[in-house]
Structure formats: structure tokens, C-alpha cells
């Protein structure tokens, strides 16, 4: 696995071939290589599940977004980008990000970044490329987003940021948006979970 260490501890840059390889493994539900990569990034093994039913999603915001997506898609593969209505998504809008897919998944651009998410890292990612954000876990995000582009199905993840002072985890539900046969955008609900337990070392 070719990697390049860039600025800061655990800030590792991976070639696009590695990102696609991990995404394809994720599509096939082979989670071991991704767990090993997360360890390199200073984060423990994530929780990953495809197609969780609504009643098994752990957060009300995730349940709400999944129900909205499922109702709007009907018999289609996914809800359409045109279905994204801020009024209808108002109960969860602050916890939602919408990303444009560039070059078939080589890159992603934040079209919308919810105000409640901004309060956690303290920065608004709207208009930024995924590759431009500061966290080393952008690699994890890129892999999971590419996997959804490939498999075209809902993906739930729970991960722990490497820089968390407490045992903070993030629950995410990543949903494809499409008006045809290919994924055009993705919509993501992000909800933090806090605990006062001390954070263990993984490196």
C-alpha cells in the first residue's frame, strides 16, 4: 500500500488506486483492509453496515433521513437530487451534508454543510472539496463515499475521530441521490455521540 505522510501526525495521503481498492472491498463487505487503514490514521475499527432497516438505525436524525429517502425513491434506486427540499428536511437540516460527485467519484464537493455539524469542528465546509479538509479521516470519508457511488445503496458507519479529547464518535448515514442509473450526489446525516470515558491509544 503506497502512502505518503504529509503535514501533522497521522496525516497520510493515499493514492487514488488505494482509495478505490478499499472502496471496492467495502462494497464486497470485506472490512479488514479498511480497519487496518483506520489504525494507520490513529482511529479504531469503525462500525459499518449496508442497508440497515430504519428501526435499527441508532439516532432519530438518521431514522428521519432514511424514511424521507425511502419514501421519495418509491420503486426507484434512490431519491432524486431534486427531492432535496430544505423545508421537508427542516427537522434534520442542521445535521445534513450534501456532496456533489466529481469525475465519477475521484473527488467530492460539499454543496451543503449543516449548521449543527459546523459547531463540532468549528468550520463550514460548504464549497470545499473533500480533499481540502483538514482531518486525516478525509481518507475514510472518501472511501465510504466512493463505496456508495459503486454499490448505490445506503451505508451506515460509526467512527471515532483520531483527535477526539473524549470518546466522541460520529454516526453517519450515507444515502445515494440519483435521477437515473448512476449516483449523482450523496446526502449524509452526521450525529455525534459523547462519553466521558478516557480515550485509549491506538498507535
Q: Would you state the pLDDT for residue 115?
A: 87
Predicted confidence (pLDDT) at residue 162 exceeds the cutoff of 90? no
How far, in whole angstroms, is CA 100 from its chain's centroid? 13
Axis-axis angle for helices 16-27, 138-151 (nearest 10): 50
Residue range 154-172: average pLDDT?
Answer: 80
Predicted confidence (pLDDT) at residue 177 exceeds the cutoff of 80? yes
Residue range 137-153: average pLDDT?
Answer: 97
| Higher-confidence position of 118 and 106 | 106
Buried b (16+ CB within 10 A) or exposed e, 13-38: ebeeebbbebbbbbbeeebebbeebb
pLDDT, tens digit, 9 for 90 and up, residues 16-60: 999 999 999 999 999 999 999 999 888 899 999 999 999 999 999
Predicted confidence (pLDDT) at residue 108 exceeds the cutoff of 90? yes
Predicted confidence (pLDDT) at residue 198 exceeds the cutoff of 70? no
The residues spanned by each domain of the chain are 4-193
| Beta-sheet strand order (sheet of 169-177) | 47-50, 155-159, 169-177, 185-193, 96-102, 107-113
How does residue 193 score in pLDDT terms, banded at 50, 70 and 90?
A: confident
Q: Would you state the pLDDT for residue 117?
A: 82
Q: Would you state the pLDDT for residue 121?
A: 58
Q: Would you state the pLDDT for residue 42?
A: 85
Predicted confidence (pLDDT) at residue 176 exceeds the cutoff of 90? yes
Q: For the domain covering 4-193, report its CATH number.
A: 3.30.450.20
Amino acid at each position: 500500500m503506497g502512502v505518503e505522510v504529509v503535514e501533522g501526525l497521522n496525516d497520510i495521503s493515499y493514492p487514488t488506486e488505494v482509495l478505490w481498492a478499499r472502496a471496492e472491498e467495502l462494497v464486497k463487505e470485506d472490512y479488514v483492509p479498511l480497519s487496518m487503514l483506520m489504525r494507520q490514521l490513529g482511529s479504531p475499527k469503525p462500525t459499518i453496515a449496508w442497508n440497515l432497516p430504519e428501526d435499527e438505525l441508532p439516532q432519530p436524525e438518521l431514522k428521519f433521513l432514511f424514511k424521507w429517502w425511502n419514501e421519495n425513491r418509491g420503486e426507484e434506486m434512490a431519491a432524486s437530487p431534486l427531492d432535496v427540499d430544505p423545508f421537508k428536511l427542516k427537522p434534520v437540516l442542521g445535521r445534513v451534508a450534501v456532496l456533489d460527485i466529481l469525475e465519477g467519484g475521484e473527488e467530492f464537493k460539499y454543496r451543503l454543510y449543516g449548521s449543527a455539524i459546523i459547531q463540532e469542528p468549528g468550520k463550514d465546509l460548504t464549497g470545499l472539496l473533500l480533499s481540502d479538509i483538514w482531518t486525516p479521516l478525509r481518507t475514510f470519508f472518501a472511501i465510504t463515499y466512493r463505496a456508495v457511488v459503486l454499490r448505490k445503496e445506503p451505508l451506515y458507519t460509526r467512527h471515532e475521530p483520531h483527535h477526539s479529547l473524549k470518546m466522541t464518535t460520529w454516526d453517519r448515514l450515507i444515502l445515494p441521490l440519483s435521477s437515473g442509473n448512476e449516483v449523482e450526489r450523496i446526502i449524509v446525516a452526521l450525529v455525534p455521540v459523547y462519553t466521558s470515558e478516557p480515550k485509549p491509544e491506538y498507535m
